[in-house]
Structures are given as structure tokens and as C-alpha cells.
Amino acid sequence: MEPLKLARSIVETLEDKKGEDILLLDLQELARVGDYFVICSGSSDRTINGLMDAVVEETREKFHLKPRLEGRPAEGWLLADFGSVIVHVFSDAQRDYYRLEELWSGAKVLLHVQ
């Protein structure tokens, strides 16, 4: 399975489910934590949970993958670790707090859906 294909599929799923401010970062030249980050915002706890549920379901069906999950929607963030692709779904407040875009500012932006 090609990591970029997985990352793009995740972006499509988030976009279909009305995720907000979706960003796909290429980390291959910067870090060994993964090849790609997908960052997305959701407007409520319920939306954050629904977005991540859609990602997990879609990747299970298409790629037969099961991620390691962390976080809680009530705390404003969820993370799915697929190894080479890491997905972050945040509330706006938590996204502003963690500022992953700034932390990984040297990463190449492959896609930004606003």
C-alpha cells in the first residue's frame, strides 16, 4: 500500500464528510514519525467523532487497515496512526493550541482544502 494513496483517500473522506480546513503535509524529508500528516478541524465533539469514524471505516474497507487511536472528542482532538500516515482531527480551539502547521512549517503542503 502506497502511503500517499492512503493519505489522499483520507483527505477525500474528510472532505466528503464536511471536515474543515483540511491540510495534507509531506513529512518525508523532515521526520521519521510518519510520511504524511492529515490535519482537519471539526465544529463540535460529535463532528470530530464522526469524521474520525468515517476515516477508520473507509480505511478498513479500502485498505484493510486498523489504526491506533488516541484522544477524545470531548477534549477536542482525535488522532489515528496508520504508521506512515497520521491523521489529526481537532476542534478549532485545540488546533490553535497545538499549532501543528507551525511546528511542521518546513513540511511540504501537498493539499489544502478550506
Cut 0.75: pTM above it: yes
Total structural domains within the chain: 1
What is the predicted pLDDT for the residue at 6? 98
Q: In which residue are the cell numbers 483540511 written?
A: 22
E strand or H helix at 100, and its extent? helix 100-103
Range of the domain at 55: 3-113
Q: How far is CA 71 from the centre of its chain?
A: 13
E strand or H helix at 12, and its extent? helix 3-16
Q: In which residue are the cell numbers 484493510 written?
A: 64
Q: How far is CA 55 from the centre of its chain?
A: 9
Per-residue pLDDT of the chain (114 residues; tens, 9 = 90+): 699 999 999 999 999 999 999 999 999 988 788 899 999 999 999 999 999 999 999 999 999 999 999 999 999 999 999 999 999 999 999 999 999 999 999 999 999 998
CATH number reported for the structural domain that contains residue 80 in this entry: 3.30.460.10
How far apart (Å, rounded) are the C-alpha atoms in residues 43 and 36? 23
| 3 state DSSP class of 44 | coil
